[in-house]
Structure formats: structure tokens, C-alpha cells
A and B are shown apart, each in its own frame.
Chain A
Amino acid sequence: MIETNDLSKQFHDFMAVDGVNLSVQGGQILALLGQNGAGKTTTVRMLTALLNPSRGWARVAGYDVVKNGHDVRASVGVLTEQHGLYMRMSANEYLDFFGQVYGLDTNERKKRSDNLLEYFGLMEAAKRRVGEYSKGMRQKLALARAMIHQPGVLLLDEPTSAMDPESARLVRDEIARLKSSSRTIVICSHNLTEVEALADKIAIIYRGKILIQGTLDELKRNVLGSPEYVVKFSETANVDFELPTGVELISRTATSLKVRVEAAEESNPKLLNLFASKNIPVVALQEETRTLEQVYLKVMAGAKGYEYVQ
């Protein structure tokens, strides 16, 4: 579990993180989105007890990041932006070293290390020096390191950025598996499709401040408004009557309508009943696809003071 309150970090005159409030439960994935330099890495470093907050507090896995830094670090697995691999070590040696760091005994180290290397497809290269690895292999090894001690909290910075689609899928599956085993996961990513697929909660950070946070649906509703639906008719229809309460007409063509619906569960059946009562044959009622990218771009446009054009 991660909880922060007014978490802030100032470097001399520069406010890197300003009043961040987060709450991520076990079995949840939070995605931190933002431009480079927005404060994501600094936030993660505070959550790992690497940087002390200038203001506010954070509790990770039940420990205060300032008072119990040692316990926080023992409970967290971190995938850093730079993978931090020792190039003259083999993957086996590297995972063994970090296994020792986290106090695992020899058998457990070997077992976990083999499992992770096997899962990420690195077993064949396990005895090769890391310096000889490709970028994707290095990222997988760094991820394996973050998982070697089976931490309760995982902080992952761009977990799939250097990977081929197959490996990225492998990593996403593993993240989903970890989530289902009640781990608390924070992902910093620019891959919005991946975030959409994985995250339970999303926070957009800009110049150290959280601009907005919530579930994907909440974000879409709050940023882009109520969901939009397209109603398609089988023939030309003359819709000149009043629509039910909570349904707002956006546009129309001879054979379709585009409406904004506040409460779909309530309004959509009413809408369909209305068309049926007017003998207008409806062939489709489809929600307009709205992506996280649209949400992100609109939020950023608002923050930077320009108009968002879809």
C-alpha cells in the first residue's frame, strides 16, 4: 500500500514535486503520467526512501519513508529509468548479488533467479556478461532484479520501453499477475495504451503537481465530459422530437444521431424505447471510443494554456 500526503520536494529554488497526494491499495496499479522532468522520478525516489521529502509524508508498505527508510527499501522493488546493471557481471551473478542484498539464502536465490531468467527468456544468456546484452534483455534483467525479493510494492519506471512487442506482452502479463497477487504497483510510463490496459488509477503530473487522478472512466468523464453515443438507423429518420432527460444531442445526419449521455444505464434504455415508440428502427447504439491519449493531451493543453484540438 502507498499513501502520500502533501508530498513535496524542493531542490534549492526548484520545486520538483509539489503537494502530491496519492493512495494506492494492494492489488492496484497506479500509473504516473507526465512529461520528462514533470516530477515522476523524484516522486518514485521519495517513495523508495532515496530522497527525503521537503514537506508532507509518505507511507509505503506501512512504513514511513523518512523514519523507516531501511524497511521501505526492503519492501520495494524498483525498476529505475537507467537500469543500473553491472556490465562485467553475468545475469546469474547479478541476480545472485541482489538476492544476497535482500537476504535470501543460496537455494532460494538460485530458485528465484532461475525462475525469473526462464520467464523472461534469459536463461540461455544467463552466463554471458551483461555488457553483451541487447537493450531489451537488459531491461528484462533489471525487471527480474526488481522482483527477486518478491516485494509487496513495485515501482516501475518505463517497464517496457526498450522491449520488442513479444517481450513487452510478457512483462505486461507478469505485471497483471503481480497485481492479482495483491502487490501494489506504480508505473511511470509514456506508453498510454499500456497504461490503459494495466492501470486501475491514473495520475497526471505536471511541474511537480498532480493535475488530475482517478480511474480511467473517471478521468474520461471529468476531462472529456459524459460518454458519447452514436445511434444508427436502418433508414432515414426524422428526429424532431424531444430526447429524454440526461441525453444531449451533439450532431445528426439523416441516418444517425450523436448524443452525450450522462447516465447510460438509465438513459440508453429510455432512448431506445423512445425510438421504438416512434417506429424508428435502430440498428446500432455504440459508445464513441475515447482514449487516455485524448484525456492526457486535453489535460496538458489546459495546464499549458492552449486549446485542445481533437
Chain B
Amino acid sequence: MFNKLKPIWLVAKRELRDQLRDWRVLMPMLILTLCFPFLMNEFAKQTVDFLNQFEANLILDRLVPFSVLIIGFFPITVSLVVALESFVGEKERGTIEPLLSAPFDDWQLYFGKLLVGVMTPLVASYSSILLYLIMVSRQNLTMPSASVLTQLFLLTAAHAFLMVSAAIVISVQSTSVKAANLLASFIVIPVAILMQGEAVMLFWGNERVLWLGIAGVTIIALLLIRVGIAHFEREYLLGREIDTINLRWILKTFLRNFTGGATSILDWYGTVLSSAMRRILPAVFFVTLIAGVSIWASYAWIKDNVSELIATATPEDIAELEKSMAEIGELPDLSEIQGHLSAPFLFLNNTRAVAVIFLAGMVSFSVLGIMLYMVNIALIGGLYALFELLGINPLPIFLAGVAPHGIFEIPALMIGSAVVLYFGAVIVTPQTGKSMGEVILELLADWAKIFIGLVVPLLAIAAVIEAYITPSLLLGVMGK
């Protein structure tokens, strides 16, 4: 095992030595590490003083965890440069080929680069945080709890791994530092948004939510590492010499995969679409399983929590609820709502939901897409439980109000989500002999085939039934 890990350290050690001799890496890191804690401390003080002039009642102590988050993040940004340099920079300088010709396995090279990308910036980042914490203790400010500090240290490490793993994915696919730097904005912008979310969690002060946030960032970082390993091939670092967007090739590859050489629509349905469906069959099985778990979980949660709420509600609670309801005012006219629930409206709404699941899945290796799917499908269990709690037998309502269009709508949602799961699974799996671009185009073609050929028609049928048949059946069941 040690012999397998030795090359990782060898690659990292050489690059580390190179980094420490490169003032362009060293100077920004030193400046960010040593100066930023002072700047942040002063900035926080000034902000609190300024806002308190307007009776904001802010205390500096509350800003400490947030400052730690920011101070830890700045040196980490250097990791992006280091990681981009590590593959595409070496390629541009021509130093990558002797290294690639060495008897290293791909994963050893990958982890060597990952380690060096994370190591120096993380050391700088932790040093910066420690410096700031010393300043905090000297100013008699309240130190964040050990648990929050642990969270902040872990979050900083997760950011480093996230950025470096994403940078390596970009770096391996790019052929010049310039192109890689441009693509790096796809890392910086989402990470900046992520930081805002984390800052909100910190100010909220809910540690459980922050743990979930850390878990989320770690999962994405791990998935990116998996993608990096899956698509790290010597071939891509040497096979291409220039970056060009070959729109003709993109279109040709997509269309070739989409049409699959079918001679007619029937042939396309019979061979091309059915073969795409066979490919996603395991994913369909998983989303069915997920659906079952989600429906059961939401049913159980509503049953447990809502009934408990009702049971423990005091007359004051009920009075407050009534007051809130009164504040909402009159509910809109039901006939007005029904006017909006036309077949095209329902169809567009459901199509948009499936498309959003796809888009969310695409940017998160399926994770966000499947989460959205779970929320959608969980509604069934939740509603069922609510009806039961209200003393209404849900079965006839579901048979009349959900089943007729649900027979089409739910499979459409499940198939649409299964493609997303399949998409993520393929991206994180090694695809020998194919570039990442080719893999993505094939997956997009698969998604388009299933979306256009199956999901859209199913949703159209469902919308027509929901708009014109379901209301009558529901009214019939409800005895009106």
C-alpha cells in the first residue's frame, strides 16, 4: 500500500518545492495569510461601530465566525491557480510529457496534483485563521465554540478540496492556461454563492444545518474528485493541441446520437429510444425505490409531527393561527383558479418541473435534481397523511383526483428523473476512449430522446386528463 502511495507524495513534493521557489505563488499567499486577518478584524470593528450609530445593536462577537469563514477562504482561492497550473500549466510549458511517461498510474498522478493543490493553500488558510483567533482572544471577544470552530475548519478544507477538484477537471479538459482561467469562473461564481449560503447558516446559528452544509460541500467535492479520476486520461492532456469550439462536431455528434441512424419515427421509437430506455433501466429502478422511500417518509413525518402539533396545541396557538388566517384575507375565488388550470398551463408547469430537475441535476451530478424529485414525489405521501389526519378517507380522493392523470404524470416524472440520475452516474464513471465532451453530448442526446419521445407526450396526456377529466371525477367523489 505504501508503495502505491509513494508516487503521490513524490509528485506533490516536487511541485511543492517548485511552488516555494515561485514568488508569484508565494507572495500572494503570504500577503493574504498575514494581512487579511488584520484587515478583516478592523473592517468588522468599523462595520459594527458604524451600524450601531443607527441603533443596529450589533456586537462584534457575532461577526467572529463569519470573519473566520472569510479569512479561511481567501488563501484557499490561491489553490485554484495552483491546481490550474498543475496540469494545463505543465502542458503549456511542455513539462507534463516526461511526467506522464513515468510509470505512474493515472490516479497516483491525480492525487499527487490534488494534494499539492490543497496542501499549501490550506496551511496558509489555517495559519490565517489561527492568527485571527489570537487577535480575537486579545480583544476579549467571545471565541466561537469548539463545535463551530471545528465546523469552520472542516468547511475551509471542504472548500479547498471542492475548488481544487473542480479546477483539475477543468485543467485536464483545457489545452491552455488562458482557457482554463476563463473556465475557472464556473468555479468561482458557484463557490461565491455557496459562501453566501454558508454565511447565512452561520448567522442563523443553527449548527445542525451547518453540518448538513458541510456534508453537502464534501459530497460535491468527492463527486468532483470522482469525476476527475474518471476522466483523467493522459490522452486528453496530450491528444489535443489547441482549444477550439467545434460547433459542427458538437452538432454532428449530438444529432448522430439523437437520431441513432433511425429511418423513420417508428424505427426511432423501436430502436433508438428503446435502447436509451434500456440504458436507464437501473436508474428507473432506483428512482422508484427513492419514490417509495420519499412517500413513506413524508407520510410518516406528517403523521408524527402534525398530529403531535395538533395534540399539543393550546387555545392560544389556535387563536394565533386564526389571527394569521384572518390577516391573509379572503382566499381567491376557486373558479378563478380553475380558469388558470388549463391543459396548456398544467402541461407547461409539469414540463418546466422536469426540466428544472434536469438542470439542477446537471450542475450537481444529479444530487440537486434527485432532491427536487424527492420533494415533488413526497407530496403524495404528505397529502395522504394530511387527509387521514383531517378524518377524510384519502383513497377515493386519490383514485379520482390523482390516479387518472397520475398514471401518466408520475411515470413521466420518474423517467425524467431517472435520466438525471443516469447522467450523474455516467459522468462520475470512467468512459474509456471517450472525451468528457463526447460523454456529455451522448448523455444530452439520451436525455433529449427520452424527454421529447416519452416524457413530453406523457405529460401532455396527463395535462389533458387533469384539466378535463380529473375535476369531474373529483367532484363526483366529493359528492358535489
Q: Residues of A at under 8 Å CB distance from B?
A: 11-13, 45, 48, 50-52, 70-71, 73-74, 76, 78, 80-86, 88-89, 93, 97-98, 100-102, 142, 145
- Knowing A70-B103, A88-B22, A101-B104, the reply to whether A80 touches B235 (Cβ < 8 A) is no
Residues of A contacting B21 with CB < 8 Å?
88
Contacts of B103 in A (CB 8 A): 70-71, 73-74, 101-102
How far is the CB of A13 from the nearest CB of chain B, in Å? Answer: 8
B393 at the interface (CB under 8 A from A): no
Q: Is the CB of A102 within 8 A of B102?
A: yes
Give 14 A-B pairs besides A76-B101, A80-B101 with Cβ atoms closer than 8 angstroms: A11-B239, A45-B238, A48-B101, A51-B234, A51-B235, A70-B104, A73-B101, A73-B102, A78-B101, A82-B97, A84-B94, A84-B95, A84-B96, A89-B14
Please, which residue of chain A has its CB at the minimum distance from the CB of B98?
Answer: A84
CA gap between A158 and B441 in the complex, in Å: 39
Nearest residue in B to A51 (C-beta to C-beta)? B235
CB B53 to nearest CB in A, in angstroms, measures 52
When the two chains form their complex, are residues B22 and A78 in contact, meaning their CB atoms are under 8 A apart? no
Q: Which residues of B contact A11 (CB under 8 A)?
A: 239-240
What CA separation (Å) do A117 and B272 show in the bound complex? 62
Residues of A within 8 A of B10 (CB): 97, 100-101
User: Which chain A residue shows the least CB distance to B99?
Assistant: A84
- Map CB proximity to A onto B77-114 as digits: 1 under 8 Å, 0 otherwise: 00000000000000000111111111111000000000
Contact B235 A52 (CB under 8 A): yes
Number of residue pairs A-B, CB distance < 8 angstroms: 72
Nearest-neighbor residue (CB-CB) of A12 within chain B = B249
| Contact between B98 and A88, CB atoms less than 8 A apart | no
> Which residues of A have CB within 8 Å of B433?
52
What is the CA–CA distance of A145 and B102 in the complex, to the nearest angstrom? 11
Interface string of B1-40 (1 = CB under 8 A from A): 0000001001000100110011000000000000000000
Which residues from chain A contact B98 at a C-beta distance below 8 Å?
78, 80, 84, 98, 142, 145
Chain B residues with CB under 8 A of A74: 103
Chain B residues with CB under 8 A of A93: 17
Determine how close the nearest CB of chain A comes to the CB of B432; give it in whole angstroms: 8
Contacts of B97 in A (CB 8 A): 50, 78, 80, 82, 84
Determine the distance from Cα of A45 to Cα of B98 in the docked complex, in whole angstroms.
11
Q: Which residues of A contact B7 (CB under 8 A)?
A: 101
Question: Which one of A52, A80, A86 contacts B14 once the chains associate, using CB atoms below 8 Å?
Answer: A86
Interface centre among B99, B234, B240 (most CB of A within 10 A): B234
CA distance A127 to B227 in the complex (A): 40
Using CB atoms, name the residue of chain A closest to B233: A52
| Cβ of B262 to closest chain A Cβ, rounded Å | 23
Which residues on the A side are within 8 Å of B239 (C-beta)?
Answer: 11, 51
**Minimum CB–CB distance for B318 against chain A, Å:** 70
B residues within 8 A CB of A51? 234-235, 238-239
Bound Cα distance A70, B99 (Å): 13
Q: Give me the interface of B with A, judged by CB distance under 8 Å.
A: 7, 10, 14, 17-18, 21-22, 94-105, 234-235, 238-240, 246, 249, 433
16 A-B residue pairings within 8 Å (CB atoms): A11-B239, A12-B246, A50-B97, A50-B101, A51-B235, A52-B235, A52-B433, A70-B104, A70-B105, A71-B103, A80-B97, A82-B97, A84-B95, A86-B95, A88-B21, A93-B17
Give the chain A neighbours of B235 by CB distance below 8 A: 50-52
Q: How far is the CA of A145 from the CA of B17 in the complex (A)?
A: 19
- Smallest Cβ distance from A181 to chain B, in angstroms? 21
CA distance A86 to B99 in the complex (A): 11
Interface centre among B7, B22, B99, B103 (most CB of A within 10 A): B103
Interface centre among B99, B102, B235 (most CB of A within 10 A): B102
CB-CB under 8 A from A145, the residues of chain B are 98
Residue of B nearest to A85 (CB): B95
Q: Once the chains bind, are A50 and B249 in contact (CB under 8 Å)?
A: no
Q: Determine the distance from Cα of A191 to Cα of B95 in the docked complex, in whole angstroms.
A: 25
The residue of chain A having its C-beta at the shortest distance from the C-beta of B7 within the complex is A101
Instruction: Out of B17, B22, B102, B238, name the residue touching A98 (CB < 8 Å).
Output: B102
Q: In whole angstroms, what is the CA distance A82 to B241 when docked?
A: 13
- Shortest Cβ gap from B183 to chain A (Å): 21
With a cutoff of 8 Å between Cβ atoms, the chain B residues found around residue A50 in the complex are 97, 100-101, 234-235, 238
Q: For A75, give the chain B residue with the smallest CB separation.
A: B103
Considering the complex of A and B, which 3 residue pairs feature the smallest CB-CB distances, nearest first? A82-B94, A74-B103, A84-B98
Most buried by B among A45, A81, A101, A142: A101
On whether A89 and B18 interact (CB within 8 A), knowing A51-B235, A84-B94, the answer reads yes
- A residues near B238, Cβ cutoff 8 Å: 45, 50-51
Closest Cβ neighbor of B108 among chain A residues: A70
Q: Nearest chain-B residue to A129 (Cβ)?
A: B21
Counting chain A CB atoms within 10 Å of each CB, the highest count among B14, B18, B99 belongs to B14
Establish whether residues A83 and B94, one from each chain, have CB atoms under 8 Å apart when the complex forms.
Answer: yes
Which residues from chain A contact B14 at a C-beta distance below 8 Å? 86, 89, 97
* Alpha-carbon distance A78/B94, docked complex (angstroms): 13
Q: Which residues of B contact A97 (CB under 8 A)?
A: 10, 14
Query: In the complex the two chains form, what is the Cα distance from A70 to B7 in whole Å?
Result: 13
Question: For the complex, what is the distance from the CA of A83 to the CA of B93, rounded to whole Å?
Answer: 10
> Which residue in chain A gives the minimum CB-CB distance to B237?
A50
**Residue of B22, B99, B239 with highest tally of chain A CB at under 10 A:** B239
Q: Nearest CB to that of B21 among chain A residues? A: A88
**How long is the Cα–Cα vector from A88 to B22 in the complex, in angstroms?**
8
Alpha-carbon separation in the docked complex, A101 to B18 (Å): 17
Nearest Cβ in chain B — how far from A200, in angstroms? 24
Chain B contacts of A78 at CB under 8 A?
A: 97-98, 101
Distance between B366 CB and nearest chain A CB, rounded to angstroms: 29
How distant is the Cα of A76 from the Cα of B98 in the complex, in angstroms? Answer: 11
